[in-house]
Structure 1
Amino acid sequence: MSRVPPVKVVRAATAVRTALLTLTRRMVPPEIGLLELASGFMGTQAVYAAAKLGIADVLADGPLSADDIAAETGSDPDATYRLLRACVMFGLFTESADGRFGLTPLGSGLRSGVPGSILPVILMLGDPQYQGPWGRLAYSVETGEPAVEVALGKQLWEYLDENPEFAATFNNAMTCLTALDWPTVVAAYDFTPYSTIVDIGGGHGQLLALMLGASPTAKGVLQEREALVGPAEAQLREAGVRDRCRIESGSFFETAPSDGDLYVLRRVIHDFDDEQAVEILGTVRRHMPRGSTLLLLESVVPAGNTPHFAKALDLDMLIFVGGRERTERQFTTLLDRAGFRINRILPTVSTLSLIEAVPGR
């Protein structure tokens, strides 16, 4: 595992990058800057098309011409060249004087099955079933309601249950994001003091497997919907920790395991409005043994003009599930209502923070 840089270093680098971006925007007329901003969807779809065609894998062994790439991907040669040329502008590929295209470090993130790949995330972000609800953002802002039902005809979780292909795309992206966040999480938090780690709403079980890997003597409990029990079984078995785990199906609105000393919820609370979030946390609180700890892995929205990805992700929550990203004050209020007291909030170099809380009454 590569060494994770200190949070202060990353924040300083982010501040420099933000200052440079601000300066760049000020150097162009406002109407041009606005046009460039609104055209960002073109980059999204170009990256998605390159990912869908598997171009990065084709270029893994070295530069090729557009015709050769098209032959490998089964795409139209002229249209493939035009896509490659645009992707050069976005920094994914290079074009040499002899007309061959090569892979950049940025484009290498689109390769499949290699460390650092975010291919599953790109395949979700560019999917028409993901982009469609984003096209209805104005509806959500006007009504305060999720746009996903207008765009897809159903609530997100129901849609995923009925569309297994997109559900696989969605779950693969979530698994990839968990792996992407993990080095920053384990660099900030020590899991070894805990004997039983409970992962509530833990999807396919990847995070639980990683936590058990960081705490070799601990046992694990995964609570998830019945539909995900099978995939979780396979994931935990593949990770070599199935014999240390118990899987429970059930709704976190109704029940939670009662034998843990660390209860972890990763990006669960942001899926819900305040009343539902308090209900979930209250259920966990009622089932936690005395002396146990709650750990939320969530983004914490900074105040004022400070840039943070959570401010955009907040709109994603509004569109798809009616949830929200929260500030430190909002988390404090939420946890207090559910009977918890925050011990500490640990920032990481990713967009996540670790919110550690204990029963407060």
Structure 2
Amino acid sequence: MQLYHMGGPWIGQTFYVAAELGLADYLGSDPVSVAELATRTEANEEALYRFCRVLAALGVLEAHPDRHFSLTEAGYALRSDAPGGFRYGVMLQSGACFRAWTEVMHTVRTGKPAFDKVHGAAYYDYLDANPAENELFNRAMGVTSLAPAIAALERYDFTGIKRVVDVGGGVGTLLAAVLRMNPGMSGVVQDLATVAAEAPAHLAEQGVQDRVDVVTGSFFDSVVPGADAYVLSRVLHNWNDDDCLKILRRVHQAMPPHGKLIVIDSVVPESGGLHPSMLADLFMMVILGGKERTEADWQRLLFEAGFRMTRAVQADNVGDTLVHALVEAVPR
């Protein structure tokens, strides 16, 4: 074991400092003094220098004489306007979520999320009560999980599918990408009213508003019926098996006999070696009580919900993001 792995939390929080302060927004190819950065970000100059020194060692910044720094090519990912929204993902995982890990033994001993113990509320209830954190969550989820999900759907054959429902689809970014790839298709984006409120404007920006219906409501209560395909992208890993069965059974009730279920999530390999999905699994367990699943897990879960799994296709890696897989199932 490499001993520097023990510093993982410190490295993550160092990225958080850069993301929270918006350092990358104040930097470019020209060197800027730490004194100027400290003034712009309202930080302590000496403390900021010591963090910048580590960020340079990590390849985010480039160090120059007299305590000046510039932004590396990799560091541009931390800009507020950078494609992929890495900055918001770092901020989301390093604030309230990071503090939950101080009670990780609660999860190990009980199997319940440590987040609830630390913050006195389940994660989604916490978001409802904290608008700023909820906005950060929506911004992070709207970008960080979409590139690999879209990559997975680019390999899917939508022949014969005329209407698709994106269940828990947020503002409709993923659905918009699917519709642009399939001009003859229409769709529905379903999510909670607080999330889907921005969907019409976003869909209009994407030029697909005339092909999409926005439906509000919990997928635990009902799912829009009668579509040819239903997409659950990065939804089921948020929930334990019992809750997943409730969601899947709602989809099964809504789906016609010819319908297809498309699940986009990670598939944990059952062979040896560390895989990003294993670390994501720990995060889901500690924060939400959810889990990442093996192919055998997916087969069992889908069978219990009334589906037959037809295939699992691993998507190509997209940058440094978690590799997603596309799991297809049909009613049995």
- TM-score, structure 2 length as denominator? 0.93
Is 1:104 the counterpart of 2:76 in the alignment? Answer: no
Aligned length: 327
Is 1:52 the counterpart of 2:24 in the alignment? Answer: no
**Residue matched to 1:87:** 55
Is 1:308 the counterpart of 2:275 in the alignment? Answer: yes
Letter in 2 for 1:176: V
- SS of 2:113 mapped into structure 1: coil
CA contact (8 A) 1:108 1:117 kept: no
Distance in 2 between residues matched to 1:349 and 1:323, nearest whole Å: 24
Q: Gapped runs of 5+ residues in structure 2?
A: 318-322
CA contact (8 A) 1:192 1:218 kept: no
**Residue matched to 1:168:** 135
- SS of 1:136 mapped into structure 2: helix
Evaluate the alpha carbon distance shift between residue 166 and residue 80 of structure 1 in structure 2; reply closer, same or farther with a 3 A threshold: same
Letter in 1 for 2:42: G
Map 1:260-339; keep pairs closer than 5 Å: 260-339=227-306
- SS of 1:198 mapped into structure 2: strand
Map 1:64-213; keep pairs closer than 5 Å: 64-127=32-95, 129-191=96-158, 193-213=160-180
CA contact (8 A) 2:145 2:234 kept: no
Evaluate the alpha carbon distance shift between residue 175 and residue 287 of structure 1 in structure 2; reply closer, same or farther with a 3 A threshold: same
1:56 deviation in Å?
A: 1.0
Of residues 316, 320, 326, the one that matches 1:354 is: 326
Distance in 1 between residues matched to 2:270 and 2:100, nearest whole Å: 27
Distance in 2 between residues matched to 1:183 and 1:244, nearest whole Å: 19
Distance in 1 between residues matched to 2:157 and 2:248, nearest whole Å: 23
CA contact (8 A) 1:192 1:214 kept: no
Distance in 2 between residues matched to 1:61 and 1:303, nearest whole Å: 44
- SS of 1:39 mapped into structure 2: helix
- SS of 1:356 mapped into structure 2: strand
Letter in 2 for 1:305: G
Evaluate the alpha carbon distance shift between residue 116 and residue 164 of structure 1 in structure 2; reply closer, same or farther with a 3 A threshold: closer
Letter in 1 for 2:52: L
- TM-score, structure 1 length as denominator? 0.86
Evaluate the alpha carbon distance shift between residue 250 and residue 316 of structure 1 in structure 2; reply closer, same or farther with a 3 A threshold: same
Q: Gapped runs of 5+ residues in structure 1?
A: 1-21, 26-32
**Residue matched to 1:42:** 10
Evaluate the alpha carbon distance shift between residue 118 and residue 265 of structure 1 in structure 2; reply closer, same or farther with a 3 A threshold: same
CA contact (8 A) 1:314 1:324 kept: yes
Deviates more, 1:329-338 or 1:78-87: 78-87
Distance in 1 between residues matched to 2:53 and 2:265, nearest whole Å: 38
